[in-house]
Chain A
Amino acid sequence: MWWKYLIFLAMSVIIWFSFTTPAPQQQIGEASRIFYYHIPQAWICVMAFTMSAYYSIKYLKKRNAIDDDCAADASRLGLLFCFLATLTGAIFAKVTWGAFWNWDPRQTSIFILLLIYGAYFALRGAIEDSERRAGLSSVYAILAFVTVPFLVFVLPRMVPSLHPSDSVINKDLKFTMGPQVRTIFFSSLTVFTVMFFWIFNILKKTNILRRKIEAGTI
């Protein structure tokens, strides 16, 4: 229960500091503040997808309905954060480079992730039998997940990018952010991650209860 308040407090603090401290990157200016939000969102999007793939594998092994529920919920949250990441990314792109969208490889990757999530739910919607739905969407989640390394690691190296590449870690693997920026950034990353797991946990408990009610064991 007190997690709720803790997260609320932490997030408020982060938001406050993200706007009242000097902008993280001087060349880009004020718009660079979005970095505190955009990167955590993108990170959570990928993490949620990984969780979905993990629960999908678990489901295929043990066939417990609860694992499919978790995979679907992780995907729902992932979709939300993916959407947010795309939005904040597009805003940043417009302010900095003049266009909302220009198919820079990271933008392309987040777009593809959006499509994958969409496809996942389209598939779930197209299958009536719940066991079949769980099995087939699990397979798709895993198959789609297998393409993610190509998106995240290989593609950006094949195509010239507009993304600031030195903003987090430069070639010498040293942090290029100043100490204050680093604090706010990692705090933001932590709070977002905690919030994600908090929401996911609530969804998971709801599902467990729902399954128990259906099975008549409550």
Chain B
Amino acid sequence: MDKNALIKIADQLVENIDDLPTIPVVATQVLQLLDQPDVQIEELADLMLSDQVMTARVMKMLNSPVYKPSHEITSLKRALVYLGLRHIREVALTTSFISAFEADSGAFDVTTFWEHSFGVGMVSKTIAVKVGYPDLEKAYISGIIHDLGVVFLSNFMRDGFQAVLENIKDRPINLADAEIQQFGTSHCEIGLSMARKWNFPDVYCEVIAYHHTPGEATIDPVLCAIVNLANLFCSVRGLDYGGREWVSFNLFDEPAWQILKKEYPRLAELDVERFCYELDDAIPDVQELVRSIFNSKE
């Protein structure tokens, strides 16, 4: 089906929801501040500190074993310096998104969702390190937000999404395909629609829209390919929405693998088997991170 047609349906679906969560006030102010040319880190830090939940979550996201900073970041100002101005926007948006979708009212529990998302964030960053992709923060954040459309479907199209999940249980059917059958569009386009509403930067909108079809991306296909592979690996190694989707893939035939290998030939040397086994070992870290993020409400 034509991508534009899918996007149109997604826009309508998102438009029809009256109580779509909005960005918290502080996040909106952070974003406005970031748009000013002479913005100072101190000013941003002061503003963000007025939202304790956001502050705690930013610190947890950056200090977890999943993300592995070289040394512990103990102040918000230091965290912002570490991230650099270019990534504060995404982190503010991401923590806002987490706050918007923390209630357990969806078709599946929200912890499972964020475990997958943070898992993909971690693995995206690991792949970025292994291949030499220059912007690790971007890879990490892209992984965390890639499935925003899924959380929308789970929360606002609960019954339909439940039917999708039943339909694909233990069958080798792609989630996005099953969603298109049910809704006429998939979590990729719905996520895109939401991300645009929330004014996410274009490169992140692209990851959300094309993380299953990185070959169609135009702004940063390599980033989309990284998130695509990370998503595939998480889906077969226990960070898989509790096994709701039965995923199987032939790694070397994946377009994402080809895109990455063309750009970074050293990918060919990756010990894929060990990579999988190490990923298994990292699962408890991801689960701990998600637990700590959701317990960080003061």
The reply to whether chain A is a binding partner of chain B is no
A-to-B contact residues, CB < 8 Å: none
B-to-A contact residues, CB < 8 Å: none
